[in-house]
Structure 1
Amino acid sequence: MKGRLYLIPTHLGNSNYGLTIPHEVATLAARLRYFIVENIRTARRYLRLLDPKMDIDSSTFFILDKHTNPREYSTFLKPIEEGHDIGIISEAGCPGIADPGADIVKIAHHKGIKVVPMTGPSSILLALMASGMNGQNFAFNGYLPIEKHERIKSIKHLESRSIKEKQTQIFIEAPYRNNTLVKNILDSCHPRTLLCIACNLTLPDEFIVTRPVSSWKNQVPDLHKKPTIFLIQG
């Protein structure tokens, strides 16, 4: 009998995991012995947080990051075919959403493996919930281009799309480029376009504010190296 592939959410940086990770999820994660992770060190630290008594040294970890050869993906699921359950753990939030775990899930479906998503925090959905923007029609666009000209072009395209389709546009940036992205948004969008900045979600210094672009100027917080979600709606 095949095992199952569990998608195990991770907290968004808060050490008090009880605020965002259900007890049942923590209990399940602690009983597994096979994991697919982006970083072994942070995964071990997280599992130890969920259950200090867990025998982590008897666990097997498969690394899934930008350096992993796609030809290895299928081999990560071999324990499932031998009857063992496997958990995918993201670096933050939910596996498979803006996360390489989606590639493993796709293979699991192809192999007829049962995929079980577990409840936990998604910074993307938390930001949308708190933004006051359209939650019935929205699009997550991932990272915008790094090159300035292409990035501004992309921002204007998303703003136009949000107006035509009445669709909330959501995107992210590498934390050390957040401040530059905000400047590009404020310089490129119409003064009446709504911009929501959702930073450090679920943390003590959580910041979630929605204002027209015109109201943001001279009031933007320092977002350098802080995980942030950006949403716009024209």
Structure 2
Amino acid sequence: MSQPKGNLYLIPCTLGDTPPLEVLPLLVKKAIEEIDYYIVEHEKSARRFIKTVSPRKSQPDLKMEEINKFTSTEDIPAMLDPCLNGHDVGVISDAGCPGIADPGAAVVEIAHRNGIKVVPLVGPSSILLAMMASGFNGQNFAFNGYLPIDKAERKSKIKQLEKTSAQEDQSQLFIETPYRNNQMLESLINNLQGDTKICVACDITLSTEYIKTAPVSLWKKIKVDLNKRPAIFIIQR
């Protein structure tokens, strides 16, 4: 009889320095206490997160593999060898839910291909929390990742998203590198029509959380500094 395979647990992380058990269920703590094999975005931050959730967890016993944008797809299958040998493996992103705008999705794909059970655990997703708080169409929305850096290409993309939003009644979400957030908001204000609505959701779940939805015409009068603060931008026409 072949050995039963371990499960792949998708373990949410906090979105900042919020105490983990304020935003994560006890099931996440239980999983971390029982799992010794991890696939993580950055080992240092993952170890810090695990120590915060489970201070008594033996750090030397943890076995970690890193996956990020530089990881070769050829290296990923071997990361799941512990599952094939009967051990559970946890996937931890730097922030939020693994597999959502996150390289962990590649691990999940290969797990399915190898008949490994995937177990997603409940936790904060900045994309869903921003959508919940926006007041926009939660029945039809799209996450677009990063917009182009080039000003002309960005302008064209913004107008395209606005047009799609109007035609499909679809909320359009995207993100920006935190130090360029102010420039992103400025680009939206300068290139969208005055009655198009913008939601900015910044520092979600943190004490400095800022979430506001308003038409472009009103955003022109609002003063807010988004520099170096993780943010989600949503537009709806």
Measured against the shorter chain, the TM-score band is over 0.9
SS of structure 1 residue aligned to 2:80: helix
TM-score, with length taken from structure 2: 0.97
Q: Moved runs in structure 1, 4+ residues, more than 6 A? A: none
Paired residue for 1:223, among 212, 226, 232? 226
Given the alignment of the two structures, is residue 79 of structure 1 paired with residue 79 of structure 2, yes or no?
A: no
Show the 5 A alignment for 1:74-223: 74-223=77-226
Which 5+ residue runs of structure 1 have no aligned equivalent? none
SS of structure 2 residue aligned to 1:27: helix
Identity, % of aligned pairs?
Answer: 50
TM-score, with length taken from structure 1: 0.99
Paired residue for 2:72, among 69, 73, 95? 69
SS of structure 1 residue aligned to 2:227: coil
Aligned to 1:2: 5
The alpha-carbon deviation at position 135 of structure 1 amounts to 0.3
The alpha-carbon deviation at position 25 of structure 1 amounts to 1.0
Aligned pair count reads 234
Q: Distance in 2 between matches of 1:34 and 1:62?
A: 8
Q: Distance in 2 between matches of 1:142 and 1:163?
A: 19
Show the 5 A alignment for 1:19-98: 19-98=22-101
Structure 1 counterpart of 2:120, one-letter code: P
Q: Distance in 2 between matches of 1:219 and 1:140?
A: 25
Pairwise CA RMSD: 0.7
Which 5+ residue runs of structure 2 have no aligned equivalent? none
SS of structure 2 residue aligned to 1:169: strand
CA contact (8 A) 1:33 1:59 kept: yes
CA contact (8 A) 1:14 1:202 kept: no
Q: Distance in 1 between matches of 2:29 and 2:155?
A: 42
Structure 2 counterpart of 1:85, one-letter code: D
The alpha-carbon deviation at position 179 of structure 1 amounts to 0.7
